[in-house]
Structure 1
Amino acid sequence: MSRTPGEHSNSVPDLTSENITRRKRGYNDDLTEALDQFSYKMIEKWNELKLEFTQEISEIKDSLKNLNETTNELKSEINHIREEYTRMQKTVQNLDIQQNDTQKEVMSLQKSMQYHSDEQDDLKKKTELHAKNIQIISTQLEDVRCQNNKLKSELNEREQRDRLLNIEIVGVPELKDEDLSGIILQLGKRTSLDIKIEDIVRVNRVTPISKQDGRPKHIVAKLSTRQLKDNLISQTRKCRVTTSDLNIPGKVSPVFVNEHLTVSNKSLLKKTKEAAKLKEYQYTWIKNCRIFVRKAATLPAIPIKEEEDLRKIV
């Protein structure tokens, strides 16, 4: 079935210029809108990127700033280390110098010690030699001491033998123009002994070793026999003679007649009495110019000839 031209006019597009322009404008608007949207999105994206970039730049700047600070600190630390290193180098140099000086001092000290050691060895040898010499001299001195003691003992015995006939009268006052022989004769009368003038070999006063003010000099008389001397000493001890018995004026005082001991024996007698008193010995006496001690009447007598014998008094 054929169509009429009127029927076909509804389906044919409108190709007029107005329609074509309207279509073009619609397409352009869509494109523009799309481009605007794209641009907007690009701007937004760019702004986001810019913001992110700015933040990153800021962070990088902060990092760089921190890095710079760290770098500066490191530089300062490195400078400090360098200074310390320089000081350490100087210190090491000083230590080297000191070590060299110390080594020199040590070497000098070693030499000095060696020198003193050699001196000490020499001194030791000399000391040993001196010790030997001293030992020899000590032995010689001991021999001399023994010989001297022996000589002194022999001399003392000789002096004491020369005094075997002597008596020593103690306590008789000194008078002007005194008759010493008459005093001896008067002692004989007091003790009932027949003493003649010819029995008196000699008589004189002597100054005691320990002179004391107010005490008279002792009278020393040598008699003709030993028996007469012993009897006179024994009797005067029994009679207890005083100055009035000898017709001596003045205050009455005791008179003692003793053995005429040597200086050495008098000193030994004094020490013997002290030792005997300390050890409570009852008896100390002299017979024939010899010293004896006895602790009790029933015990034997101990002769004391020299100081070594005092050890027997125990």
Structure 2
Amino acid sequence: MDSSMDKSFTDAESPPTYVSQRAKKPREDTQDSLTIQLNDFKKEIKEMMSLFSSKQEKELQHVSNTLKIIQQSNLNIENSIAYLTSQNEEFKKKINLLESQAREDKKYITILENKIEDLQVGCRKSNIQIKNVPKMKNETKEELIEMVMCLSQTLECKIDRSDIKDIYRVRGRKPQEQNSPIVVETSSALLKSEILKKGKAFNIKHKSKICSKHLGFKKQTDVPVFLSEHLTVKGSRLHFLARDLAKTRSYKFCWTAYGKVYVRKDESSPIITIRTEEQVQKLQLEK
């Protein structure tokens, strides 16, 4: 029987072995390992925080330095602006002073120009201009005097040679200009006015206005000739503008006398002395 049992155990699996185990206490080295790991973690966190803090300090230092530079730059800019503002105020004062001086100078220049104009008008008060007279070849003053004497006979205005103090032809602006004006300086302003008066009366009385044949020309006899006062450059300009004013604004009268220019709307209107171009412009704008 025993042999059969042994045989059955032999043929089959070995019988289980029952072993009892004791409960083990936690090992102290595990707790130490956790403590070490915790300490390492704390240390690592501290190092990270320290590194982060160090970086932050560097960044803050950099930002602080940058802010100081910006503040200094702003201070410099403020100082520059303050300096430029003070300079600007000085320039404004100087400009105002210069403008004021320029206005005073302009007034003084106008006064001087008017004085010069009056002097020129005074020097020309006895002069007449004969315009559009054909120019002769190798023209002499004697020939010019003969023209004036012939004209005086036509106008029935007695003139002696001694009444002609000087005579000359104005040089033309262009070399090819032939019919430049002839200036006749008479002995008195009264004689000048008489010649102009006779010339105006002749043109009203005769259909054939004053022309070159009345000055003794044998050729080019029908060239129209015009008598006028010897105006200054300013006077000539004002006379031109006044004539244009008379046409555009229907002024009935426009004339010159003793170097001055006058206009008049009609017989019942006041006489206006034209003194400046600005005055003509204002008259052009009047309703």
3-state SS in 2 of match to 1:109 = helix
Show the counterpart of 2:90: 129
**Using the alignment, how far apart are the partners of 1:171 and 1:198 within structure 2?**
25
**Cα pair 2:210 2:224 within 8 Å, conserved:** yes
**Using the alignment, how far apart are the partners of 1:255 and 1:98 within structure 2?**
99
1:221 maps onto 2:191 in alignment = no
Q: 1:296 pairs with 266, 281, 284, which one? A: 266
Superposed, which structure 2 residues align to 1:1-314 within 5 Å?
104-175=65-136, 176-178=138-140, 179-208=143-172, 210-211=173-174, 213-238=176-201, 239=203, 240-251=209-220, 252-310=222-280, 313=283, 314=286
Q: Which amino acid aligns with 2:148?
A: I
The 1:105–1:158 alpha-carbon spacing in structure 2 relative to 1, beyond 3 Å, is same
Show the counterpart of 1:58: none
- What TM-score do the two structures reach when normalised by structure 2? 0.69
Q: Which amino acid aligns with 2:188?
A: T
The 1:140–1:101 alpha-carbon spacing in structure 2 relative to 1, beyond 3 Å, is same
* Gapped regions of structure 2 (runs ≥ 5): 1-47, 204-208
Q: Which has the larger radius of gyration?
A: 1
**Using the alignment, how far apart are the partners of 2:65 and 2:200 within structure 1?**
91
TM-aligned CA deviation for residue 213 of structure 1: 3.7
Show the counterpart of 1:55: none
3-state SS in 2 of match to 1:168 = strand
**Using the alignment, how far apart are the partners of 2:63 and 2:265 within structure 1?**
79
The 1:120–1:302 alpha-carbon spacing in structure 2 relative to 1, beyond 3 Å, is same
Q: Which amino acid aligns with 2:187?
A: S
The 1:177–1:281 alpha-carbon spacing in structure 2 relative to 1, beyond 3 Å, is closer
TM-aligned CA deviation for residue 298 of structure 1: 2.5
TM-aligned CA deviation for residue 196 of structure 1: 1.3
The 1:120–1:285 alpha-carbon spacing in structure 2 relative to 1, beyond 3 Å, is same
Q: Which amino acid aligns with 2:151?
A: L
3-state SS in 2 of match to 1:286 = strand
The 1:126–1:280 alpha-carbon spacing in structure 2 relative to 1, beyond 3 Å, is farther
**Using the alignment, how far apart are the partners of 2:258 and 2:196 within structure 1?**
11
**Using the alignment, how far apart are the partners of 1:237 and 1:165 within structure 2?**
17
Show the counterpart of 1:80: none
**Cα pair 1:237 1:256 within 8 Å, conserved:** no
3-state SS in 2 of match to 1:222 = strand
TM-aligned CA deviation for residue 118 of structure 1: 1.5
TM-aligned CA deviation for residue 279 of structure 1: 3.3
TM-aligned CA deviation for residue 128 of structure 1: 1.1
Structure scoring higher RCO (CA < 8 A, sep ≥ 6) equals 2
Query: How many positions carry a matched residue from both structures?
Result: 224
**Using the alignment, how far apart are the partners of 1:298 and 1:233 within structure 2?**
25
TM-aligned CA deviation for residue 294 of structure 1: 1.5
**Using the alignment, how far apart are the partners of 2:228 and 2:146 within structure 1?**
18
**Using the alignment, how far apart are the partners of 2:166 and 2:272 within structure 1?**
33
Q: Which amino acid aligns with 1:203?
A: I
The 1:108–1:275 alpha-carbon spacing in structure 2 relative to 1, beyond 3 Å, is farther
**Using the alignment, how far apart are the partners of 2:223 and 2:151 within structure 1?**
15
TM-aligned CA deviation for residue 113 of structure 1: 2.7
**Structure with a larger share of its residues in helix:** 1
TM-aligned CA deviation for residue 98 of structure 1: 6.9
**Cα pair 2:121 2:258 within 8 Å, conserved:** no
**Cα pair 2:232 2:259 within 8 Å, conserved:** no
**Cα pair 1:290 1:304 within 8 Å, conserved:** yes
The 1:157–1:98 alpha-carbon spacing in structure 2 relative to 1, beyond 3 Å, is farther
Q: Which amino acid aligns with 1:114?
A: L
Give the root-mean-square deviation of aligned CA atoms: 2.7
3-state SS in 2 of match to 1:123 = helix
3-state SS in 2 of match to 1:131 = helix
